[in-house]
């Protein structure tokens, strides 16, 4: 079914379903950031070791997501999303019930793998629901759910964790995912679009050098940010002097600005995705520098987090639109590879940030993030030579 064949109301309901499901999955991914200290205390490990749960989820998206997508590339998109949600529910229930650290790492990896499948499939499904000139905005609906997860899901999840324990938060997430599964079956239209490009064509186009170069830019930009953001809760507590109760408010501010940035970023992506990526990367530098030099001042830290949140999410639709346009008929698999690159950046960033935290203290994680974003800037600028800015895609 093409965008012209999907009634407007049904398309809107389908987009809302995809966005709300992304909210649930995004909450599962990022809520751990707000409760790392609680998890570490419960498992009797260091905060840096607990941070490996962030890394495991990111690796699940990065490695498991493309594998699962390749295996299901011929499957109807609605059934792919349904299967992904079913598995997601099961592994998050396991997450809530288990106390074995390696089993928890495995559950996070599995959850991340089906999350990666969802991101790729949902991105292309959303683009099929709208005219070509609105594809960036359609994708921002999907990724906007993740942005709202940081604005609402993470702080609410942190609050629930403070009251009932961090495991209760994952049970709530599983229940919400069950509702999303039902909505997917009801509102998402069946698609016959996946019969055109087979496995070989998908792989050939998705792994073309021009696409890999763009994915490298995504890894650098996101990895730099998450070397700092993964440890933002303890940073706010020890450097800014925020109380345990107010950390959720700081994260709420970051997430609310991120949600605004995501939806604005969809519009900017439709106008000029390359220019958007370069401007955002440039603006990240003074923002992180401000947080590093003046992070001990609560108002400055809050303002820097708000700007950071807006910028961080504003670049996502442009990244995805650039990747799928460069991949052409390999868009289904390439859409998942964007999530792989982003979450590979999260995994590497959290690992390097943990090393910096252990060896140089919490101040160093923000400085590290700033330096990595400086390194990413030349690559971001060079990415404008990879191909046309227009999202020229052939949906079969």
User: For residue range 322-346, what is the model confidence (pLDDT) as tens digits?
Assistant: 998 898 878 888 888 887 888 778 8
Residues 75-90: tens digit of each pLDDT: 888 889 999 999 999 9
Residue 392: what pLDDT?
40
What's phi and psi for 386, nearest 5 deg?
-75, -25
Residue with tokens 């490695």: 63
- Position 162 scores a pLDDT of 74
Q: What is the DSSP code (8-state) at residue 134?
A: G
The CA distance from 359 to 380, in Å, is 30
Q: Residues 6 or more apart from 229 whose CB is under 8 A from it?
A: 33, 312, 349, 369
Q: What's residue 345's pLDDT? A: 86
CA–CA separation, 381 and 60 (whole Å): 29
User: What pLDDT, on a 0 to 100 scale, did the predictor assign at position 8?
Assistant: 57
Which residues 6+ apart lie within 8 Å of 245 measured at CB?
162
**What global pTM score does this model have?**
0.77
Q: Which two tokens stand for residue 242?
A: 């925020």
pLDDT reported for residue 373? 93
The residues, any chain, with a CB within 8 Å of residue 86's CB and separated by 6 or more, are: 181
For residue 73, the 8-state DSSP code is T
* Longest distance between any two alpha carbons in the chain, whole Å: 58
Contact 333, 199 (CB under 8 A): no
128 closest CA partner among 10, 207, 25: 10
- State the pLDDT at residue 4: 47
Task: Count the residues in the chain.
Answer: 396
Rounded Cα–Cα distance for residues 165 and 167 (Å): 5
- The CATH number of 3-385 is 1.20.1250.20
Question: What does 209-261 look like in DSSP terms, one character per residue?
Answer: HHHHHHHHHHHHHHHHHHHHHTTHHHHIIIII---HHHHHHHHHHHHHHHHHH
Number of DSSP helices (H) and strands (E) in the chain, helices first: 18, 0
Handedness of CA 215, 217, 219, 222 (dihedral sign): negative
Q: Give the pLDDT confidence score for residue 396 in this predicted structure.
A: 38
Low pLDDT (below 70) residues in the chain: 1-9, 150, 191-197, 387-396
pLDDT value of position 25: 93
| Cβ 392 vs Cβ 325: under 8 Å | yes
Q: Which residues of 281-320 are buried (b: 16+ CB within 10 A; e: fewer)?
A: bebbeebbbbbbeebeeeeebbbbbbbbbbbbbbbbbbbb
| Tokens found for residue 337 | 């590879």
């Amino acid at each position: 079914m093409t965008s012209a064949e999907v009634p407007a109301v049904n398309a809107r309901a389908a987009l809302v379903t995809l966005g709300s499901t992304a909210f649930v999955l995004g909450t599962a991914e990022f809520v751990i950031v707000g409760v790392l200290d609680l998890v570490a205390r419960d498992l009797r490990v260091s905060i840096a070791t607990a941070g490996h749960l962030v890394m495991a989820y990111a690796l699940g998206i990065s490695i498991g997501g493309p594998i699962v997508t390749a295996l299901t590339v011929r499957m109807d998109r609605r059934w792919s999303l349904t299967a992904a949600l079913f598995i997601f529910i099961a592994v998050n229930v396991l997450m809530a019930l288990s106390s074995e650290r390696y089993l928890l790492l495995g559950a996070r990896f599995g959850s991340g793998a089906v999350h990666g499948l969802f991101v790729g499939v949902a991105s292309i499904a959303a683009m099929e629901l709208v005219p070509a000139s609105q594809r960036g905005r359609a994708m921002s609906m999907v990724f906007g759910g993740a942005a709202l997860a940081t604005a609402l899901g993470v702080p609410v999840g942190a609050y629930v964790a403070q009251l009932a324990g961090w495991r209760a938060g994952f049970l709530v997430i599983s229940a919400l995912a069950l509702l999303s599964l039902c909505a997917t079956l009801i509102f998402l239209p069946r698609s016959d679009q996946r019969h055109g490009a087979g496995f070989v064509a998908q792989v050939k186009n998705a792994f073309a050098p021009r696409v890999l170069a763009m994915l490298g830019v995504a890894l650098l930009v996101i990895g730099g940010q998450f070397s700092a953001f993964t440890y933002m809760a303890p940073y706010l507590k020890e450097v800014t002097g925020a109380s345990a109760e107010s950390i959720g408010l700081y994260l709420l501010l970051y997430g609310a600005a991120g949600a605004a940035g995501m939806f604005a970023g969809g519009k900017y992506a439709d106008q000029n995705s390359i220019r958007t990526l370069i401007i955002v990367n440039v603006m990240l530098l003074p923002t992180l520098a401000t947080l590093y030099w003046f992070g001990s001042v609560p108002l400055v830290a809050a303002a820097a987090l708000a700007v950071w949140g807006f910028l961080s999410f504003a670049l996502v639709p442009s990244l995805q639109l650039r990747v799928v346009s460069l991949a052409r008929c390999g868009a289904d698999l390439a859409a998942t590879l964007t999530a792989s690159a982003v979450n590979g950046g999260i995994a590497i960033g959290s690992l390097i940030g943990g090393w910096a935290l252990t060896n140089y203290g919490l101040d160093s994680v923000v400085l590290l993030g700033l330096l990595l974003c400086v390194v990413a800037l030349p690559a971001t600028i060079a990415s404008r030579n990879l191909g046309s800015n227009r999202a020229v895609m052939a949906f079969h």
